């Protein structure tokens, strides 16, 4: 009995020791991966296989003379050419051809939905998966479109008897209400993630001092008590121009002006970031943060760059070092960010982790990105990257 007890004790001790060793290894690996750039690069390339190139990817051929417009959303690459939208999966398989009366598109994507309209035209489509969910023809000219993650749509209409008209649609394409601006011009809109609020970014050009406003509209009151539908109004500092709005949650609209970023809501009103002369890129289109690329002097006429993602709900931020390389363009979808470095694409998430690195011998024309797929665009083809 004593021998059996000793054996059990040794086995228990061995298990505890092995568990401690595993925990120590995980902690050590995670800490080094987070802080040691050379180690992280080695692991990304050799273990996680994050590095890909054009010889290893599926590609889609595109017509050089068709002036194609290319988009990514959800898990699809979509090519608009000659009034036809062709959708491909991440394997390069064509899965849909949708007829659209659009030549110059206005597009906004959010999760599994894409809203597409003719710029300064009348046609609008809501697309999800391989289908057109609904389509409509409106009076006036469409100047801006927005869709939330549930498929609710807002559009800004100009060239009517008002300066701007904003129309709001549910998932089935039913127009729930319209709001009219007699004095200000609507620049941008965004819909809360619970469909309860519509934020409208407006500019007043009539006075000697330019001002911007953000109006929060209750969707419920807009349908039953239109005169009481504006439940909050934010007035910008003098001279500030609103450029974008993005609802990242149920209550707060993240609003970008030319000089700062502001959180606007019925329960909170908070300055999130002041844009400085060192900021070469600022964007609020992600799901949870503000993306900033800033430059720091590293010598005479030379700079170092870094990508910072500042959380909009806490004081936390992530950092991705770019060294002396400034991206030629940046595209954001959800939690993903694609950085076009010229002959290289780096796809990182808002936590600052590298998801994929794509290298090419040729100059990259453009990049599009969705939640689970990205497309590297050349003159005659699209290389597909699975995320």
Domain residue limits, the chain: 2-35, 52-96+276-387, 100-275
Six-digit token pair at 55?
């010889």
| Arithmetic mean of pLDDT over the chain | 90
CATH superfamily of 100-275: YVTN repeat-like/Quinoprotein amine dehydrogenase (2.130.10.10)
Nearest to 203 by CA among 233, 231, 232, 183: 183
**How confident is the model over 10-44, as pLDDT tens digits?**
666 666 776 676 675 566 545 555 555 566 565 66
8 A C-beta contact, residue 76 and residue 60: no
* Per-residue pLDDT, 3: 56
**How confident is the model over 271-317, as pLDDT tens digits?**
999 999 999 999 999 999 999 999 988 777 778 999 999 999 998 99
Direct distance between the N- and C-terminal alpha carbons of the chain, in angstroms, rounded to an integer: 57
Q: Mean pLDDT across the stretch 134-163?
A: 97
**How confident is the model over 183-222, as pLDDT tens digits?**
999 999 999 999 999 999 999 998 888 999 999 999 999 9
Six-digit token pair at 155?
């559009």
Nearest to 313 by CA among 232, 251, 266, 225: 251
* Per-residue pLDDT, 28: 54
8 A C-beta contact, residue 371 and residue 385: no
8 A C-beta contact, residue 290 and residue 312: yes
> Distance between CA 156 and CA 136 in Å, rounded?
14
Count of other CB atoms within 10 angstroms of residue 268: 9
**How confident is the model over 345-359, as pLDDT tens digits?**
999 999 999 999 999
């Amino acid at each position: 009995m004593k021998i059996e007890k000793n054996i059990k004790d040794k086995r228990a001790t061995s298990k505890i020791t092995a568990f401690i060793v595993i925990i120590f290894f995980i902690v050590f690996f995670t800490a080094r991966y987070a802080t040691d750039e050379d180690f992280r690069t080695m692991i990304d390339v050799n273990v996680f296989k994050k590095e890909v190139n054009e010889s290893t990817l599926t590609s889609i051929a595109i017509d050089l003379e068709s002036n194609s417009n290319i988009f990514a959303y959800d898990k699809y690459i979509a090519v608009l050419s000659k009034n036809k939208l062709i959708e491909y999966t991440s394997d390069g398989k064509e899965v849909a051809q949708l007829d659209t009366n659009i030549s110059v598109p206005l597009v906004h994507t959010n999760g599994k939905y894409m809203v597409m309209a003719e710029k300064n035209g009348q046609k609008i489509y809501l697309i999800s998966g391989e289908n057109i969910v609904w389509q409509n023809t409106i009076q006036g000219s469409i100047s801006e479109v927005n869709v939330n993650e549930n498929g609710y749509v807002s559009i800004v209409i100009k060239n009517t008897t008002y300066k701007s008209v904003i129309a709001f649609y549910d998932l089935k394409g039913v127009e729930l209400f319209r709001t009219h601006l007699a004095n200000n011009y609507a620049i941008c809109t965004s819909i809360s993630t619970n469909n309860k609020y519509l934020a409208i970014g407006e500019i007043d050009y009539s006075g000697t001092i330019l001002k911007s406003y953000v109006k929060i509209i209750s969707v419920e009151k807009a349908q039953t008590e239109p005169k009481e539908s504006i439940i909050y109004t934010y007035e910008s500092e003098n001279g500030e121009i609103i450029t974008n709005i993005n609802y990242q949650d149920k209550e707060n609209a993240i609003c970008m002006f030319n000089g700062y970023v502001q959180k606007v809501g019925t329960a909170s009103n908070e300055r999130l970031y002041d844009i400085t002369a060192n900021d070469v890129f600022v964007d609020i289109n992600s799901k949870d943060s503000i993306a900033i690329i800033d430059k720091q002097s590293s010598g005479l006429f030379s700079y170092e760059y870094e990508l910072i993602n500042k959380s909009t709900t806490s004081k936390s931020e992530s950092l991705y070092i770019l060294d002396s390389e400034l991206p030629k363009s940046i595209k954001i979808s959800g939690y993903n960010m694609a950085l076009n470095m010229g002959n290289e694409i780096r796809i990182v998430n808002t936590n600052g982790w590298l998801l994929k690195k794509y290298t090419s011998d040729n100059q990259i024309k453009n990049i599009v990105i969705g939640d689970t797929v990205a497309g590297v665009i050349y003159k005659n083809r699209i290389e597909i990257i699975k995320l």
